Amino acid sequence: MIAMPLATHPVRERRISPHDAADMIMRFREGALPELAIFDVRDAMSFKTVHVPGAQHLTDSSFPTLTRGLTKHTPILVYCYHGNASQVWAQTFVDFRFVEAWSVDGGFEELSAHLGSRQAGRVDPPRATNASAALVSFISAHGFNPDDLDAPRDHGLTPLMRASLLGNVPLADELIRLGVDLDKRNMDGNTAVWMACVSGKAELLRRLAGAGIDLDNRNDMGATSLMFCASAGKTDLVALLLELGADPMITNFDDLRAGDLAASRECLSLLRHTVK
């Protein structure tokens, strides 16, 4: 058996849905997530027969070798048959001071099904055909691919995320009209909504919501944009997100809601009915 460390790390093991695990894998494959380690803890024959592409077979004996090249901040996905043994392994990674260790609920079959659905649902990427001079200049300046306006660049940001981070409403509008994927997530699992909240552009939030973006996306730490705005004391944006339909009852991985994270009396007043 693996020799366990003398002390454990305070970060707890997390379970992840097969949908979110598939999202992480797709973001890694597309370059939005810079690193990811996937481990299969089923028996050797099952792994040899079929496994998630890129996964490595993890056993007690292979653990030291497979983890030697990983940083403690490398996100880790562990799957088994049904999501039980993988929880034990995810806890083992946490005990060895790995910060992000995820056990995939439902195991291999569920994860494979969600990956297959994601891949089957992919369509031709939107292109900068007939784009304005401003958008062409923006794409060039930030090194984006004009033939794939959903392709990420630095920090996993897509053109829509970058335009939102800059608070550029006209560019975001044009990208939406060109059909970009509104719910693409960056390396931290955030979408353009989060970027718009960082820039503080209320009008941009309204445009994104009107186009149908998911206001309640939870990033890889379980935080929503409403939680971010509440914790940053962005009262006007908290009010706007609530007006647009953001859910204040969602909890993060520490079981806290946006109201529990409110950094100002004004934000707390808006969210007081949700505080535990």
Active site residues: 80
Q: Please return the burial class of 272, using the count of CB atoms within 10 Å of its CB with bins 0-12, 13-18 and 19+.
A: exposed
* Phi (first) and psi of residue 18, to 5 degrees: -60, -30
Residue pair 159/142 in contact (Cβ under 8 Å)? The answer is yes
- In angstroms, the Cα distances linking 210 to 24, 111, 256 are 26, 32, 28
Calculated CA dihedral for residues 200, 133, 154, 187, nearest 10 degrees? 60
- ∠ at Cα 8 (6, 13), nearest 5°? 145
Nearest alpha-carbon partner for 66 in 91, 90, 38: 38
Structure tokens at 177: 């009209």
Structure tokens at 21: 């695990």
User: HSE (CB half, 13 Å, CA atoms) of 21?
Assistant: 31
Largest CA distance in the chain: 62
Nearest alpha-carbon partner for 219 in 248, 169, 183: 183
Residue pair 255/267 in contact (Cβ under 8 Å)? The answer is no
